[in-house]
Structure 1
Amino acid sequence: MDSYVSRAALDFFIAFGVVFGGSMLAGIGSVFFLLPPAAVMLQTASQLKIWALVAAVGGSIDPLRVIESNIIEGHLYPVAVQVALMLCAFLGAHIGTELIRWLCRGAA
């Protein structure tokens, strides 16, 4: 149980870091090209959201294969674990996106 909780926390923070860090660096980069940083950060955050989820769950199709093979065999616990890990990663990406929206609220 402990390894699942730590894996879920890591997935959350990986997805959060991809969205938040990528958006912040895009904002810094936009200054060099005289683009509005808030608009670039908001656009980048929304575009990175799905990629943050993919990066957090392993970057491949393996989690979906785990779900498929265990559903076929009738083992629901591993399916629930994979879905929970994906939800934690999605939550991290979503919170990262919302934090960027909150930071850019007055500027965009």
Structure 2
Amino acid sequence: MAELVSKLIINFCVAFGVVLGGAMLGGVAAVLTLQPPTAQMTTLAEKMKIWAVVASVGGSIDPIRYIETQFAEGQISLATQQILFIISAFTGAQLGNSLIQMICKGGTAP
């Protein structure tokens, strides 16, 4: 159980970091190219969410195939774990996006 929680936290943090770090560095790039940084950061954060989830859970379509294989073999608990990893990564990516939106637009996130 401890290993599962550990992997969930790691997936969450990796996805969160991809969105937050990518948007922040995109903001720096926007300043260097004389573009409005907040607009660039919010756009990048929104676009990076799916890539953050993919990077967090393994970087390919393999986790989806793994879920399919485990369901087909009747091993529901292993497939459920993989689904939890994806949900954890999505939550981290969404929180990172919401934080960037809140920072750039001020006030509360959408």
> Normalized against structure 2, the TM-score is what?
0.94
Identity between Structure 1 and Structure 2 (%): 46
1:74 and 2:53 aligned:
no
Q: C-alpha distance in 2, partners of 1:60/1:52? A: 11
1:61 and 2:43 aligned:
no
- Which residue matches 2:49? 49
Between 57-66 and 76-85, report the one with greater CA deviation.
57-66
- Which residue matches 2:18? 18
Runs of at least 5 residues in structure 2 that lack an aligned partner in the other structure = none
Q: C-alpha distance in 1, partners of 2:60/2:50? A: 13
Runs of at least 5 residues in structure 1 that lack an aligned partner in the other structure = none
Residue 48 of structure 1: how far off its partner (Å)? 0.5
1:60 is paired with a residue whose SS is coil
Letter in 1 for 2:61: I
2:60 is paired with a residue whose SS is coil
Letter in 2 for 1:33: T
Q: C-alpha distance in 2, partners of 1:18/1:101? A: 15
1:31 and 2:31 aligned:
yes
Q: C-alpha distance in 2, partners of 1:44/1:60? A: 21
1:34 is paired with a residue whose SS is coil
Residue 62 of structure 1: how far off its partner (Å)? 1.8
- Which residue matches 1:96? 96
CA offsets, 1:67-102, max 9 Å, x none? 111111111100110000000000000000000000
Q: Number of matched residues?
A: 106
> Normalized against structure 1, the TM-score is what?
0.95
CA offsets, 1:9-65, max 9 Å, x none? 000000000000000000011001110000000000011000000000000122112
Q: C-alpha distance in 2, partners of 1:85/1:61? A: 14
Letter in 2 for 1:52: A
Structure 1 runs (4+) greater than 6 angstroms displaced: none
